[in-house]
Structure 1
Amino acid sequence: ALASGLNLAAHVYMYHQLIEDYRFCYKHSPMIVFWHFFFCICTHAWAWSTVFHARDTPFTEFMDYACALSMVMILFIAAVIRLLFRKKKVALVIVLMSIMFFIHHVRYLYSGKVDYEYNMTVNIVIGMLATALWMVFSLGALCGGQHAARRYVWR
């Protein structure tokens, strides 16, 4: 519970830094609204993780697993949006498919006994996909891609 609580605290702290530094930059930072949403998803997930590790019940286990996937999925979606920022229709299709998969997976988790192995496999695969996409994005920025000239690539 302590590690989850510390992760929650770190997210809250960094969110306040984001607000202080970029509160009026919506026009120049189109991703800022997304990062606000990202914060909501992540803090919700870390809050449920903290609750689950403090009080293990079937409901808190379900919420921990579902919210953990939401955090992994939002990281994947962030990578898709950053990579396909100019190809909005393609990005939208991938994002919608991701959301539909998330809903399907959460319904599966809620339908009965939580299958830990399946849930971990889903999280690992999506996490690896997200990591690969972020690496492509980062290498593109480092090697002179479309985002290379920006001082802060995350905007």
Structure 2
Amino acid sequence: MIMHRYWIPLFAVLSCLVATLDASVGDSDPLYRACVGQCEKTGCVGERCFPHCKFSSDGVSIDGPWYMQEPLYMRWKQWDCQSDCRYNCMVERENQREAPGDGPVKYHGKWPFKRVYGIQEPASVVFSALNLAMHFHGWLSFFILLYYKLPLKQDKKGYYEFATLWHIYGLFSLNSWFWSAVFHSRDVDLTEKLDYSSAVALLGYSLILAILRSFNVRDEAARVMVSAPLLAFVTTHILYLNFYKLDYGWNMKVCVLMAVAQLLIWGIWAGVTRHPSRLKLWVVVFVGGLAMLLEIYDFPPIYGYLDAHALWHAMTIPLTYIWWSFIGDDAKFQTTNLVKKFEIPFGQKTITLQRWDCK
């Protein structure tokens, strides 16, 4: 009972703290709110007007004739009257704040970014797309290494026993970075949930893979026993975010915990086993840990484009190349260890044979 008395006020204080941190100064500004309200009535911000802000007598938006509608590259992003009013009022208010030297503030939980062809966060979109391309390149290189450069079994399968797990990891990575690019391009409820769910799924699977590889779990039954609890937790967390509450604070804690756990596992395993490519792995662990600080140390976008989150995406591009290089080295290292060379004298010559030991 005594512990409950302490927990209740503690949670109350933390809740107030989180609420304070999440509050946005920009959207509570009276001038900004007045601008949005006026825009939604008139369809104009200053001299700029929006055709899709015109409404009929029953309140239904009138798109107007085809020459008055937004071009396709804008319409597919579903910019509506409210979002356009908020964006243009934000731009106008930031210009007013910049004149006396005031810094930018957040609006509806986000920093004021400048659109490029209707894309909300162009830098994050570009870096997400580059991460997607880098993962595809790494995965394709890993595939070619396994099935075209390293020896194969009689059934044409590779000797690297963790190959299937890395193939699945490649699919999770491509999916996650694809939805990251889509979400940063246009932030709506659907793209937000897809981005968050894909990131959680990738982190959860990466943690499972780190445990299986570092502890060299090869038996299928043992892999299922190790993976099942984590799979259940990750699945429950994704369902919670999508169908109950999209809790940003709780999701951040879960993601940071899973990320830190796997970084520690990989770093310790590389040192204990003295892996030949441990330097590559340590670079990924160390720089990846530093990059995570960008998610904590948030700052306004530079020139309206480059913020802390975009820089984090940028730092992961070279790390992705090094990471897939390590995966390839691990496959070569394990395959090489399966080869036992021995020599047999044959007359005046010596024949060198190879035997593959799959144990």
Asked if Structure 1 and Structure 2 have the same fold, meaning a TM-score greater than 0.5 normalized by the shorter chain, the answer is yes
In the other structure, the counterpart of 1:147 is none
1:27 equivalent among 158, 161, 183: 158
Q: Which amino acid aligns with 2:261?
A: L
Task: Identify the match of residue 216 of structure 2 among 85, 92, 102.
Answer: 85
- Indicate conservation of the 8 Å contact 1:81/1:91, yes or no: yes
- Of the three residues 245, 262, 265, the one matched with 1:130 is 262
Q: Name structure 1 gaps, 5 residues minimum.
A: 145-150
| Cα distance in 1 for residues equivalent to 2:271 and 2:130 | 31
8 A contact 2:128–2:177 mirrored in 1 = yes
Aligned to 1:14: 138
8 Å CA contact 2:146–2:158 kept in 1: the answer is no
- Corresponding position of 2:207: 76
The answer on 1:95 being equivalent to 2:227 is yes
Q: Is the 8 A contact 1:84 1:90 kept in 2?
A: no
The corresponding residue for 2:271 is: 139
Deviation readout 1:93-149 (Å, 9 max, x if unpaired): 2211111011100110012441111111100001111111111211122189xxxxx
Please identify, of 93-102 and 26-35, the stretch whose mean Cα deviation from structure 2 is larger: 26-35
TM normalised by structure 2 equals: 0.39
Report SS of the residue matched to 2:169. Answer: helix
Give the match for residue 95 of structure 2. none
Structure showing greater relative contact order (alpha-carbon pairs closer than 8 Å, 6 or more residues apart): 1
Structure 2: distance between partners of 1:87 and 1:47: 31
Pick aligned residue for 1:110 from 235, 242, 246: 242
- Contact 2:208 2:227 (8 Å CA) reproduced: yes
Q: Which one has the bigger helix percentage?
A: 1
Q: How many pairs were matched up?
A: 149
- CA distance in structure 1 between the partners assigned to 2:241 and 2:207 by the alignment: 20
Counterpart residue identity of residue 70, structure 1: A
**Rounded Cα–Cα distance in structure 1 between residues aligned with 2:217 and 2:197:** 31
Question: Under a length normalisation based on structure 1, what TM-score does the superposition of the two structures give?
Answer: 0.86
Hey, what does 1:63 align to over in structure 2?
Answer: 194
**Alpha-carbon offset, residue 60 of structure 1:** 0.7
Stretches of structure 2 lacking an aligned partner (at least 5 in a row): 1-124, 277-327, 335-359
Q: Distance in 2 between matches of 1:46 and 1:123?
A: 16
Residue 43 of structure 1 pairs with residue 174 of structure 2: yes
| C-alpha contact (below 8 Å) 1:45/1:67 kept by paired residues | yes
Is the radius of gyration larger for structure 1 or structure 2? Answer: 2
Contact 2:147 2:158 in 1 (8 A): no
Equivalent-residue separation in structure 2 for 1:152 and 1:17 (angstroms): 11
The equivalent residue for 2:57 is: none
